[in-house]
């Protein structure tokens, strides 16, 4: 008789093997998920840093146009100038930008801004380099005479009004057509022994002399003023320097640049043409300056005061017995009935196209080209 033996069922250790395999598989899945998560977090963080760097770079472009420095107007073609850092890493700030301004031909500027996202230790985490084109725009003023006045104009004493183009003493010579000595929509009354020159010397009843040729440029240029003075009397305006080596001290409200050339002048301020604005009446006695002088009220000049550039007054201009001189042009718009522009004593107003151009250039600002937004140059 055959005895049947049961089959061996000894499978001890299989459960352990299955468990180990499961642990390895689960560990691989967890590790893979963790690794993918780390990559996703890193990718997201890099994208965020790049976005922040791009925003900083955009701020650099916006800042360059919104806070245009008039000294950039003097850049030579293809001359770069790295500007100060914006959003410096202080007080826990972690974004910054660097601007570069390049002047190109035809009055076009190329503005580049490199934005950076940095950590608290200054390590750069992300960068973006953006560029934008802008075109220089200069304010336009309808200057057709040495003196343009709306309303009756009185010229007396030994005043000299000269519409023949000339260059300020010591400046490079510039040529331009002569203009009228006095241009007005009314009449010119003379007394004493004034001398009036130009082409023609006097242009009366000119229908082109209207309020807008005074108020238009005045309101356009006023927001660009470097210096704002309260209404009142000021004297001894003049250039000033600071530091070693010396630079023109543009922080002083009575430093209006250096129009003089030669002995006694301060060359550090030759290129400083400020825009000076006062909301009321202004009385100037002595001193010298250059640029654009905007007076919302009346302007009185005496005591040998000299100015090179453009004087734009919404009220009236008055000179007294002491001599004063303006090289460039004066525009005086009478805003109240009965106001008059009066030139007494021995003042001189000499038309100068190069003085006018230099003053208007200081008020020039670049604006972004509307047809092109910014373009990304590089980044990571």
- DSSP code, position 268: G
Q: What is the CA radius of gyration of the chain?
A: 35
φ, ψ (nearest 5 deg) of residue 183: -130, 125
pLDDT tens for residues 79-102?
788 887 777 665 567 888 999 999
Does residue 159 contact residue 195 with C-beta atoms inside 8 Å?
yes
Residue corresponding to tokens 């090179």: 308
What is the pLDDT, as a whole number, of residue 12? 62
Q: 161: closest CA among 147, 175, 149? A: 147
116 membership: H or E segment, kind and range = strand 108-118
With a CB cutoff of 8 Å and minimum separation 6, the contacts of 88 are 96
- DSSP code, position 86: B
φ, ψ (nearest 5 deg) of residue 73: -65, -20
Does residue 365 contact residue 134 with C-beta atoms inside 8 Å?
no
What is the pLDDT, as a whole number, of residue 371? 57
Where b means 16+ CB within 10 Å and e means fewer, 212-229 reads: ebbeebbeebbebbbbeb
Does residue 159 contact residue 318 with C-beta atoms inside 8 Å?
no
**Farthest CA pair distance, the chain:** 161
Q: Is 253 exposed, middle or buried (0-12, 13-18, 19+ CB in 10 A)?
A: middle
What is the pLDDT, as a whole number, of residue 256? 96
Where b means 16+ CB within 10 Å and e means fewer, 114-144 reads: bbbbbeeeeeebbbbbbbbbbebeebebbbb
Q: For 322, what's the count of Cα atoms within 13 Å in the CB-facing half-sphere?
A: 12
Q: Residue 42 — very low, low, confident or very high, per pLDDT cuts 50/70/90? A: low
Q: Which residues sit opposite 147 in a β-bridge?
A: 182, 330
Q: 360: closest CA among 158, 59, 141, 152? A: 141
Does residue 198 contact residue 180 with C-beta atoms inside 8 Å?
yes
Q: Which residues sit opposite 375 in a β-bridge?
A: 131
Does residue 268 contact residue 286 with C-beta atoms inside 8 Å?
no
φ, ψ (nearest 5 deg) of residue 359: -70, -45
Within 10 angstroms of residue 100's Cβ, the number of other Cβ atoms is 17
What is the pLDDT, as a whole number, of residue 153? 86
Q: Name the least confident of 177-191, 242-256, 365-379.
A: 365-379
Q: What is the mean pLDDT of the chain?
A: 86
pLDDT tens for residues 296-345?
999 998 888 999 999 999 998 988 766 789 999 999 986 443 445 667 77
Arithmetic mean of pLDDT, 34-58: 80
The domain locations on the chain are: 55-138+365-379, 145-362
Q: Residue 270 — very low, low, confident or very high, per pLDDT cuts 50/70/90? A: very high
pLDDT tens for residues 207-256?
999 999 999 999 999 998 989 999 999 988 999 999 999 999 999 999 99
Q: 153: closest CA among 342, 22, 320? A: 342
The residue among 33 and 313 whose pLDDT is bigger is 313
Q: Name the least confident of 168-177, 192-201, 302-311, 338-347.
A: 338-347
25 membership: H or E segment, kind and range = helix 14-66
Residue 269 has pLDDT above 80, yes or no: yes
- DSSP code, position 226: S
283 membership: H or E segment, kind and range = strand 282-295
Q: Which two tokens stand for residue 164?
A: 């023949």
What is the pLDDT, as a whole number, of residue 335? 41
Within 10 angstroms of residue 295's Cβ, the number of other Cβ atoms is 26
Instruction: Report the alpha-carbon distance of residue 205 to residue 149 in Å, rounded.
Output: 11
Q: Which residues sit opposite 351 in a β-bridge?
A: 328
Residue 50 has pLDDT above 60, yes or no: yes
What is the pLDDT, as a whole number, of residue 227? 94
pLDDT tens for residues 3-28?
666 655 555 667 777 888 888 888 87
Residue 182 has pLDDT above 80, yes or no: yes
């Amino acid at each position: 008789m055959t005895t049947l033996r049961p089959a061996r069922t000894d499978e001890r250790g299989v459960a352990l093997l299955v468990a180990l395999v499961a642990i390895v598989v689960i560990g691989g899945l967890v590790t893979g998920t963790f690794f993918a998560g780390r990559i996703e977090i890193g990718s997201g963080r890099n994208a965020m840093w790049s976005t922040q760097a791009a925003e900083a770079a955009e701020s650099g472009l916006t800042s360059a146009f919104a806070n245009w420095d008039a000294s950039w107007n003097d850049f030579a073609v293809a001359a770069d100038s790295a500007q100060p850092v914006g959003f410096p890493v202080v007080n826990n700030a972690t974004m910054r930008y660097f601007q570069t301004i390049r002047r190109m031909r035809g009055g076009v500027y190329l503005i580049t801004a490199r934005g950076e996202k940095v950590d608290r230790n200054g390590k750069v985490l992300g960068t973006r380099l953006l560029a934008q084109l802008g075109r220089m725009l200069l304010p336009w003023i309808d200057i057709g005479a040495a003196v343009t006045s709306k309303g009756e104009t009185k010229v007396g004493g030994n005043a000299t009004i000269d519409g023949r183009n000339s260059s300020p003493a010591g400046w490079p010579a510039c040529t331009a057509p002569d203009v009228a000595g006095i241009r007005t929509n009314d009449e010119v009354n003379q007394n004493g022994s004034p001398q009036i020159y130009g082409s023609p010397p006097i242009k009366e009843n000119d229908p082109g002399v209207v309020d807008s040729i005074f108020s238009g440029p005045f309101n356009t240029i006023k927001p660009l003023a470097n210096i704002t003075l309260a209404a009142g009397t000021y004297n001894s305006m003049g250039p000033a320097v600071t530091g070693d080596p010396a630079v023109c001290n543009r922080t002083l409200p009575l430093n209006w640049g250096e129009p003089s050339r030669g002995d006694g002048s301060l060359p550090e301020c030759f290129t400083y043409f400020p825009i000076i604005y006062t909301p009321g009446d202004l009385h100037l006695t002595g001193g010298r300056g250059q640029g654009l002088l905007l007076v919302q009220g009346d302007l009185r000049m005496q005591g040998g005061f000299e100015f090179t550039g453009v004087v734009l007054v919404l009220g009236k201009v008055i000179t007294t017995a002491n001599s004063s001189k303006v090289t460039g042009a004066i525009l005086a718009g009478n805003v109240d009935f009965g106001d008059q522009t009066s030139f007494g004593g021995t003042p001189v107003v000499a038309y100068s196209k190069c003085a006018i151009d230099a003053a208007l250039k200081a008020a020039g600002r670049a604006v972004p080209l509307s047809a092109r937004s910014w373009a990304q140059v590089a980044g990571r």
